Amino acid sequence: MASYIWLFPLLFIFHDFEEIIGMRLWVARNGAYLSRRFPRFAFIFKIPNTEGFAIAVAEELILILIISILALTNNRTAQLLWIGAFIGFTAHLVVHIAQTIIIRKYIPALATSFAILPLCIWITITCIQSTEYSLIEILAYSLIAIITIGANLLLAHWIARKYGKWVDDKLKKC
């Protein structure tokens, strides 16, 4: 498992670079359509700016790095948390593919989701098979990680809006 631990932050940032690079323009072009089609989720389509989005990604990357470093200590709980978080990340890739199907439009994140999903599935299966952890433990930690990721996503969006507004305010004064 130790040989796969550092792949998590690398795969995460590779995937999120696609989102950082393309999301603002994509939302500018598609936000109104998405807000009309999915009014309950309109708040998601309000990306403040690239800087705000990037700071949210940086916050998520820091958490992934902490989890990865802890997993390297061979601590049972930390390794289960890593596996759970990695499974959550893999599920996140599937969600992007589903989003594309549901909205019937390309989204920034689709290309890297398709590119790295097979590797993520393989790493997940390999880690599950090569550890002494039970399937119940892995599923429990995956559930904990997915709930934590969801809660952190709300925090990351809040940080993105605050930081994005701060950057915009600073730029107005220039």
| Greatest CA separation for the chain | 58
CB contact at 8 A, 20 and 57: yes
Alpha-carbon torsion (119, 100, 154, 169), positive or negative: positive
Confidence (pLDDT) at 45: 67
Name the DSSP class of 106: -
Integer Cα distance of 14 and 35 in angstroms:
28
Integer Cα distance of 100 and 167 in angstroms:
30
Tens place of pLDDT per residue across the chain (174 aa): 788 999 999 999 999 999 999 988 898 898 888 888 888 877 666 766 889 989 999 999 999 999 999 999 988 999 999 999 999 999 999 999 999 999 998 999 999 999 999 999 999 999 888 888 888 999 999 999 999 988 998 898 889 889 988 998 989 998
- Residues 105, 107, 109, 112, Cα dihedral to 10°: 40
Confidence (pLDDT) at 141: 92
CB neighbour list of residue 62: distance below 8 Å, 6 or more residues apart: none
23: nearest Cα among 164, 149, 148: 164
CB contact at 8 A, 70 and 82: yes
Confidence (pLDDT) at 100: 94
- The DSSP string of 125-161 is HHHHHHS---HHHHHHHHHHHHHHHHHHHHHHHHHHH
